[in-house]
């Protein structure tokens, strides 16, 4: 039964990533990628903000502007949107191209594979400069703890239609930071 469920999940992923079913124009895709790259920043996690103890996890937060249709639905339904398959971020994956991370002891930190899919995760909506956006995130696990983490990450975001954008994200975070709203 487990093998069947794994196979079923793989088939669903393959079908959802099929470029023939990709419903977004090149212009929409380019705008999405430009916003994701422009808004990407490193941050501590919610738990780190609460605990203020050395951590071995951090994230990348980013966002993109919701379509007019989604914004209208959000306002019409008192701040809710029906979650559905086929959001533009569902067609995105990322690849780590390069990174250098050091903690306050000048130790080199490495990523630990947490088994998570290499996709942007949908987070709550946010309003920035009176524009409604969908927040997105990636969570990373590290091989050592940090109180301060410095360095950079080069990430390439790729859409299932083949369009790509790469960004170098500076990392300069501390367990004493606040998680951005």
Highest mean pLDDT among 3-7, 55-59, 71-75: 55-59
pTM (two decimals): 0.84
C-alpha 60, offset from chain centre: 6
- Domain limits at 153? 25-174
For residue 39, give every residue at least 6 positions away whose Cβ sits within 8 Å of its Cβ, in sequence order, or none. 61, 62, 63, 64
Residue 1: pLDDT band with limits 50, 70, 90: very low
pLDDT at 3 over 50: no
Q: Are 121 and 136 in contact (CB under 8 A)?
A: yes
Q: What's the rounded mean pLDDT across residues 69-88?
A: 87
Q: What's the rounded mean pLDDT across residues 90-98?
A: 95
In a domain, 17, yes or no: no
In a domain, 83, yes or no: yes
Strand partners, 171: 151
> For the domain that residue 142 is a member of, what is the CATH number?
2.60.40.10
User: pLDDT (tens digit, 9 = 90+) per residue, 106-151?
Assistant: 999 999 987 778 999 999 999 998 899 999 999 999 999 999 999 9
User: pLDDT (tens digit, 9 = 90+) per residue, 33-62?
Assistant: 999 999 999 999 999 999 999 999 999 999
Residue 20: pLDDT band with limits 50, 70, 90: low
| Measured distance CA(30)–CA(174) in Å, rounded | 33
- As for how many domains the chain has, the answer is 1
In a domain, 19, yes or no: no
pLDDT: which is higher, 66 or 83? 66
User: pLDDT (tens digit, 9 = 90+) per residue, 22-34?
Assistant: 999 999 999 999 9
In a domain, 34, yes or no: yes
């Amino acid at each position: 039964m487990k093998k069947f469920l794994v196979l079923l999940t793989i088939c669903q992923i393959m079908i959802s990533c099929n470029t023939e079913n990709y419903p977004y124009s090149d212009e929409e895709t380019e705008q999405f990628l430009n916003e994701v790259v422009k808004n990407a920043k490193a941050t501590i996690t919610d738990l780190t903000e609460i605990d203020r103890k050395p951590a071995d996890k951090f994230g990348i937060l980013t966002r993109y502007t919701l379509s007019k249709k989604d914004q209208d639905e959000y306002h019409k339904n008192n701040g809710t949107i029906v979650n559905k398959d086929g959001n533009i971020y569902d067609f995105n994956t990322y690849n780590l191209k390069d990174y250098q991370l050091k903690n306050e002891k000048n130790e080199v930190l490495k990523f630990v594979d947490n088994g998570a899919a290499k996709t942007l995760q949908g987070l709550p909506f946010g309003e920035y400069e009176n524009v409604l956006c969908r927040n997105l995130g990636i969570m990373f696990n590290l091989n050592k703890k940090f109180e301060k983490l410095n360095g950079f990450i080069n990430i390439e975001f790729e859409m299932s239609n083949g369009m790509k954008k790469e960004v170098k994200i500076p990392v300069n975070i501390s367990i004493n930071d606040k998680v951005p709203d």
